[in-house]
Structure 1
């Protein structure tokens, strides 16, 4: 179990190989972000994106899934206070495979028994193109 004291500024982790499907893009968007370029292939072709793309919120949700699978299960994390500087940099399309890199940027005491960790999260496609980034504000339990 990784506690606040174990987290080191500068530490990085890389993981993931999440393949994005057309069906998942449409299903998520129909429920949560039904803009034409997320739900309708013909309309998406006519949009500035030139084809179907995932909602940025869907990209964030896929990233969260990978974070839980690869970082929070082994951490004394009690959740997050939010994110700063969320950016959707490039469209995510059907067939893209997403990867995540997390870098510990800073940490600070929060209150008794807890510390706050600032982590840079960078999401890329197979070709190395960064599609999303944000700074996570994650609470960790201390050992004592």
Structure 2
């Protein structure tokens, strides 16, 4: 039994579900920019001693990969979604595909329920369970 989440957390998780595939592409782009891009974070400490970054480009890129905040956040969110999605039975996976990953959005909750041969209330209950499981992995629940 799941507990009720604050509506802002539900919106946050649903937003991430809607943009999951974009996040996957963004992660790959960020990694490529860090690994193969010519522009690395430069030390702006002009005349103030030595930089705390290693002089080796490989080491600098590794450190940037490990400390890049946007990349870390996207990886954490996509990992949580993927983990929950892969653990779901087929009908709940189909709910995610129909509601969040079909572009343009073609179905209302009633239409999704009809596609899945369940009631609208069942769809909403499943959605709540899925959102709660993702929020829990992201550390967004009170429990």
TM-score normalized by structure 2?
Answer: 0.31
Normalized per residue, the structure richer in helix is 2
Higher share of residues assigned strand: 1
Question: In terms of Rg, which structure is larger?
Answer: 2
TM-score normalised according to structure 1 size: 0.31
